[in-house]
Amino acid sequence: MNFTEAKTRSENLRKLIERHNRSYYVDANPAISDFEYDLLVKELEAIEKEFPKLQTADSPTQRAGSDINNEFVQIKHKYPMLSLGNTYSENDLNDFDRRIKKVTVDNFEYVCELKFDGISISLTYKNGILQQAVTRGDGEKGDDVTANIRTIRNIPLKLYGDYPEEFEIRGEIFMPRASFERLNKERANAGETLFANPRNATAGTIKLQNSSQVAKRGLDCFLYYLLGENLPHSSHYENLQEAKKWGFPISQNIRKCQTIKQVIDYINYWSEERKKLPYDTDGVVIKINSTEQQEELGFTAKSPRWAIAYKFKAEQAITKLLSIDFQVGRTGAVTPVANLQPVQLAGTTVKRASLHNQEQINILDIRINDMVIVEKGGEIIPKIVGVDKSYRTGNSKEFEYITHCPECGTKLEREESEAKHFCPNENGCYPQITGKIEHFISRKAMAIDGLGIETIELLYKNNLISNVADLYDLKKEQLLPLERIAEKSAENIIKSIENSKNTEFQRVLFAIGIRFVGETTAKKIAEKLHSIDKIMMASSEELLQIDEIGERIAQSIIEYFANQKNKEIIQRLRNAGLQMETKETSVKISDKLKGMSFVVSGTFTLYSRDELKQIIERHGGKNVSAISASTAYLIAGEKSGQTKIEKAKALKVKIINENQFNELINE
């Protein structure tokens, strides 16, 4: 076979294989056997091996993966990957329905989807070709796992039909139960540790550095959310049906509902029927169908206001409470943990469960040797929710809560407003010290690779680190004599620590571990005050003016920076080269739009919607999702929502285009 013949045959084979992929994964109507399919792929592999120039990025042969190890690169999401608000009750769903009706006066539809128990993924396509696959990460940045995702057979590498030039589609990667059972059987035969459940197995598989190993694990995928500037429809459900025509795996169990009662009927049906599915689901996601109404409802800092996740009722089991231990967290919070007689619950063996605090123990009247009710509902560690007192005997012993720290012996404290007890010895209590360092290096904070909790403890016990600033004084020569640290590992640790100096300020602020200051709060503080110096000098009144900061958070920030040891650590981090202020691109340019609120709707030529919103904020303006009498301007582009335009006219809100907006900021 010469090159020309090989080129023609390889092109025909690719088309044929992709057609069979579509028949199998999208239409659920396979036309050939697995054996015949494999023969086609092997023929294409042989041609591409003989003529390497004929291999393409979208070739079906790429499903096999590669043996080359590549470290994952962090990619910033074009559209943040927010989490959903959760509920377990019908009352909350009715409240959600009432909130929607307050904002959206027009008729609206709900879309109900099964909530798959896997790992979120965002796929970017350009000109119909898969370009990039990124994990959720911290919502703003995620890992580039494109090589691994290419191995999942029902994710199309190349699309069919009339699709947008560029768009993102999001969904869930999961491991079917059959694949999970096969994998654990293989691990058992090899003497390896078994995965606890399919979700853990999926997470571990996606992060493998060897994509050829990923290809063998039998992952699957459903996609459920389309994003982009030029989507075919102005409704979520219809966009998904179009995506199915392009070759995407879209669940056939999606339903449109006209009322919240129909939503609840859907939930009640699937709460039992889901057990017949070949994969795990843990709830139902409810979304507003109209993308215009979604835009009108907008977002909170953490989640969309137009969607909610209903979690199926947690499974419960009854077992014996053997004893209670106490764990000390990085903030000094002391948490009681129950040791249980092992019991099967939701597919895993449960030996420990959270008791949260003394108040809960007293309310439930929990005693040693009681038969307790254990529940596993969305939490990593199961919790005790009750006691079956019909089993109680004379062997049950009332429990006395500890008064001193189980780690350092310091007397515990408990403020009136707090449910938990705290150890105040933050700089001398071992789990607090190592916990702070573990938080500092975590993915959502400084993202320092190679330093797990075991390595942190090893460094601490060898007197190499006692706080986060000590990390930046480490040398490779200090690490090499330590157990389990080879030269390559030592080099990677030092390199990762050095790279962390480029981490943006808002994540540094989150990483230092101020109590009650989470990711979102750190971001808002950084955006408002811009530098560590301004935060250190801020008064309680200044802090309270920042969105979502209340008295408890403000007081915690002031107390943190009043501590001389904390200020010394900050100075050492600054000297090491960490980012202690926001970059110029985030800083306000002017006050031209101060006091003005804007609604941005439609698509634009000069900017994306996100860019317009950033420019508004940098000139002192405020972005809002819904039009009201106090809205200053509606910036309307192509395909702007007609409802928004009509509402703006009715309320006499000024409607401008992007050129008029430019004139406004350039005056």
Residues annotated catalytic, as ranges: 115
* Type of residue numbered 446: M
Closest CA to 637 of 619, 597, 610: 610
- By DSSP bridging, strand 129-135 and strand 119-126 are antiparallel
Question: Cα–Cα distance between 263 and 90 in angstroms, integer?
Answer: 10
Alpha-helical (H) ranges within 107-235 are: 146-149, 177-189, 198-206, 211-215
Question: Cα–Cα distance between 352 and 333 in angstroms, integer?
Answer: 18
Q: Angle, nearest 10°, between helix axes 34-50 and 3-21?
A: 150
Question: Cα–Cα distance between 521 and 509 in angstroms, integer?
Answer: 10
Question: Is the distance from CB of 425 to CB of 405 less than 8 angstroms?
Answer: yes
Question: Cα–Cα distance between 582 and 589 in angstroms, integer?
Answer: 13
Question: Cα–Cα distance between 364 and 355 in angstroms, integer?
Answer: 10
Closest CA to 536 of 570, 579, 578: 570
Question: Cα–Cα distance between 139 and 444 in angstroms, integer?
Answer: 9
What's the CA angle centered on 587, arms 572 and 140, to 5 degrees?
80
Q: Which residues, listed in sequence order, are joined to residue 601 by a DSSP beta bridge?
A: 636
Q: Where are the beta strands (DSSP E) in 377-443?
A: 383-387, 397-398, 421-422
Question: Cα–Cα distance between 512 and 570 in angstroms, integer?
Answer: 8
Residue with tokens 């069919």: 160
